[in-house]
Chain A
Amino acid sequence: MKEIEANELISAYYDNELTESELDNLLEMTKKDPLLLAKLNNYALITEISEKDEKVFSIFEGISKIARKRWFGNGLSATAAILLTVIFLNNPFESRFSESDIINSQIRDAVESDEAAKTYSMIEKNLIPHVMSIIDNNSRSYEDDLAIDLSPIGFNRIESNPGHFIRGKKKIQVRLEPNRIGIKENRYWKSGNKLIYLYPTSDGKIISIYGDLTIQEVEKIIPVLTK
């Protein structure tokens, strides 16, 4: 096999796109010529560069600085910044590997970190578990889920996944529940395409919306839920 073909196999392996027989071939080739693996190392490094500015390089220091740089929202607290930075800025992992558990473990690690613990004790104790339960895609049945009807704006309920709705390729999570976290004003955080939006209703509930959404799209969803 020509070198260029071998290298193309490595590129395809990096993308998890080899057939079993191609994987056999690749293993044979790398056994004979371990230097081929340098290509694989290089391709992995390109991914590192592509995600470089979007990663949390330190949970113990500097994370607030990154959060300030990367996140914006209305009323972004330090705690939320830590949490959301870790959640979202690592999303390239999720898109590549479809491993939400990576993100979850990073959230746990971040929240368990000394810096998070210090900050956590100071502010917004209730907000963090709430946001985490959304991000964790907690699949328990929410008491008010059945009251959510987004069909007027084209979103259909995903029956197998309470609180999840789909319109074309766009999937979002919407929860309506008693406002136990006690926020009085709407709050949102956004990075890239991802948005978390919390909206306290006048009747003591809270609407939580999460997904690839713009503020403008959320502003169309809220009236449907509150009318």
Chain B
Amino acid sequence: MNIPQKNEASLLKRAKNGDKDAFNLMVIKYQPRIMSVLYGFLKTHSDAEDLTQQTFIKAWINLEKFRGDSSFYTWVYRIAINLAKNYVKKPSTKFEKTSISIDEHHYDLPEDLDPLSVISSDHLKTELDTFISSMPEKLKTAFVLREYEGKSYEEIASITDCPIGTIRSRIFRAREEIVNYFKEVLHERD
């Protein structure tokens, strides 16, 4: 039986050995959350974007110093908060970014949904809840148990008496339906 591994630990190990693709996989996973936190501090899209970029560049540059005492997200979160605090105290720090070679550490991301639209739009949570309630029961159950309850695939499989592979597929299909829905919603708003 294949037992799920700690994906993050594995990616960190690879990233510390210089694998930028492994690092990038973590960056993209956490980027919206970091951007949301920074947008909360800074209240402007451009500043949130700039500092998000700086956060992950700083994380990459200092990755060797990350000892794993906390999770990767916690570590990155602290970097982001410190950058934001410094920026709020001294807005000129925003230009520090130019002293870092962006070309060398380039983390521009392919985007389907626009993070800034999502982060700064109102009422999306209500729309999400409404949409989820309209989804097929099996997809809804799997998604809610994972996304809202934080259950593992194994736990969800046990609760719903389904194979883990089925659960994995249902969660994926639920996500796809939600993404497609929000693409339409945000497109209409534009």
**Quick one: which of A12, A21, A51, A98 contacts B172, CB cutoff 8 A?**
A12
Q: Contact at B40–A47, with CB atoms within 8 Å?
A: no
Q: Contact at B32–A8, with CB atoms within 8 Å?
A: no
Residues in B neighbouring A93, C-beta threshold 8 A: 73
**Quick one: which of A12, A38, A49 contacts B111, CB cutoff 8 A?**
A38
Q: How far is the CA of A57 from the CA of B111 in the complex (A)?
A: 23
Q: How far is the CA of A52 from the CA of B19 in the complex (A)?
A: 32
Q: How far is the CA of A92 from the CA of B147 in the complex (A)?
A: 9
Q: A13-B25, A49-B128 are in contact. Are A18 and B40 (CB under 8 A)?
A: no
Task: Tell me the B149-190 residues at the A interface (CB within 8 Å).
Answer: 149-150, 152-153, 168-169, 171-172, 175-176, 178-179, 182
Q: Contact at A59–B41, with CB atoms within 8 Å?
A: yes
Residues in A neighbouring B24, C-beta threshold 8 A: 30, 37
Q: Contact at A18–B4, with CB atoms within 8 Å?
A: yes
Q: Contact at A11–B175, with CB atoms within 8 Å?
A: yes
Whether, in the assembled complex, B135 has its beta carbon less than 8 Å from a beta carbon of chain A, the answer is no
**Quick one: which of B71, B110, B179 contacts A37, CB cutoff 8 A?**
B110
Residues in A neighbouring B6, C-beta threshold 8 A: 16
Q: How far is the CA of A64 from the CA of B21 in the complex (A)?
A: 41
Residues in A neighbouring B61, C-beta threshold 8 A: none
Residues in A neighbouring B113, C-beta threshold 8 A: 41-42, 45
Q: Contact at A26–B73, with CB atoms within 8 Å?
A: no
**Quick one: which of B10, B150, B169, B179 contacts A20, CB cutoff 8 A?**
B10
Task: Tell me the A62-78 residues at the B interface (CB within 8 Å).
Answer: none
**Quick one: which of A16, A21, A44, A109 contacts B32, CB cutoff 8 A?**
A44
Residues in B neighbouring A96, C-beta threshold 8 A: 150
Whether, in the assembled complex, B139 has its beta carbon less than 8 Å from a beta carbon of chain A, the answer is no
Q: Contact at A19–B175, with CB atoms within 8 Å?
A: no
Q: Contact at B73–A99, with CB atoms within 8 Å?
A: yes
Q: Contact at A11–B31, with CB atoms within 8 Å?
A: no
Q: B83 → chain A, closest Cβ, in Å?
A: 12
**Quick one: which of A13, A22, A23, A48 contacts B119, CB cutoff 8 A?**
A48
Residues in B neighbouring A7, C-beta threshold 8 A: 172, 176
Residues in A neighbouring B73, C-beta threshold 8 A: 93, 97, 99, 102
Residues in B neighbouring A133, C-beta threshold 8 A: none
Over the window 93-128 of chain A, the binary record of Cβ atoms lying under 8 Å from chain B Cβ atoms (1 yes, 0 no) is: 101111101100110010000000000000000000
Q: Contact at B71–A99, with CB atoms within 8 Å?
A: yes
Grouping DSSP codes into helix (H, G, I), strand (E, B) and loop, the A interface class, with mixed when no group exceeds half, is helix
Q: Contact at A42–B112, with CB atoms within 8 Å?
A: yes
Q: Contact at A60–B41, with CB atoms within 8 Å?
A: yes
Task: Tell me the B22-66 residues at the A interface (CB within 8 Å).
Answer: 22, 24-25, 28-33, 36, 39-41, 43
Q: Considering only CB atoms, which chain A residue lies closest to B150 in the complex?
A: A95
Q: Contact at A27–B128, with CB atoms within 8 Å?
A: no
Whether, in the assembled complex, B102 has its beta carbon less than 8 Å from a beta carbon of chain A, the answer is no
Residues in A neighbouring B146, C-beta threshold 8 A: 15
Q: Contact at B43–A17, with CB atoms within 8 Å?
A: no
**Quick one: which of B10, B36, B178 contacts A46, CB cutoff 8 A?**
B178
A-B CB contact pairs (8 Å), 15 listed: A7-B176, A8-B169, A16-B6, A19-B3, A23-B5, A30-B21, A37-B110, A41-B31, A44-B28, A48-B118, A50-B128, A52-B125, A60-B88, A105-B77, A105-B78
Which 10 A-B residue pairs are closest in the complex by CB-CB distance? A95-B150, A57-B40, A11-B172, A38-B110, A19-B2, A8-B172, A53-B125, A44-B32, A52-B125, A38-B112
Please give the residue numbers on chain A whose beta carbons come within 8 Å of chain B beta carbons, in ascending order.
7-8, 11-23, 26-27, 30-31, 34-35, 37-60, 92-93, 95-99, 101-102, 105-106, 109
Supplied contacts A105-B77, A105-B78, 20 more A-B pairs, CB within 8 Å: A12-B153, A13-B7, A17-B168, A27-B21, A38-B111, A38-B112, A41-B109, A41-B112, A41-B113, A43-B175, A44-B29, A46-B182, A48-B115, A49-B125, A50-B147, A60-B88, A92-B150, A95-B150, A98-B150, A102-B71
